[in-house]
Amino acid sequence: MDSISEQRLNILRQSIGKVIDSSPSNFMNWLAPILVQAENGKLVCQYTIRKEMTNPYQILHGGVTAGIIDDLIGATIYTMGLESRFTTVSNYIDYFAPANEGDEVIAETTIVKKGRTIINLQCEVFLPAKNRLIAKGYSNMLSLG
């Protein structure tokens, strides 16, 4: 029998190359990412920057960038097949460069350190068209038991 992680990954992998629109996260559905890769402790998604994701300067809003990072890190915890639920207790983000409406950005998560009650993960957001890192965030996720 497959582990919980493998069961979840098998479900996710059926969506590779497709827009995620039926996630339990309503925010993820609004972000409408395309799943690129799903592994235990790693997700890669592509996002198209829409007008409603931009700030008054017509660039990707920092809050939406933070939302992409937080949402994808939360989904990454799901891939790990852990029995307990986790919630974000801290989120630290560096912003390096803008992205414009119509741009395609890629977000990729990785585990930095997995403890018994706190898991630290990172998410990098890239603008492939300009070979540029636009943001990098770290989150501590706390087990709720």
User: Residue 28's closest CA among 60, 75, 62, 63?
Assistant: 75
Residue 1 banded pLDDT, cuts 50, 70, 90:
low
User: How many CB atoms neighbour CB 81 within 10 A?
Assistant: 16
Please give the DSSP secondary-structure letter assigned to residue 116. S
Residue 39, phi then psi, degrees to nearest 5: -130, 170
CA distance 79 to 44: 12
23 pLDDT higher than 90: no
53's tokens: 């994701």
106 pLDDT higher than 70: yes
What's the mean pLDDT when you consider all of the chain? Answer: 95
139, 120 Cβ separation under 8 angstroms: yes
* 36-67: pLDDT as tens digits: 999 999 999 999 999 999 999 999 999 999 99
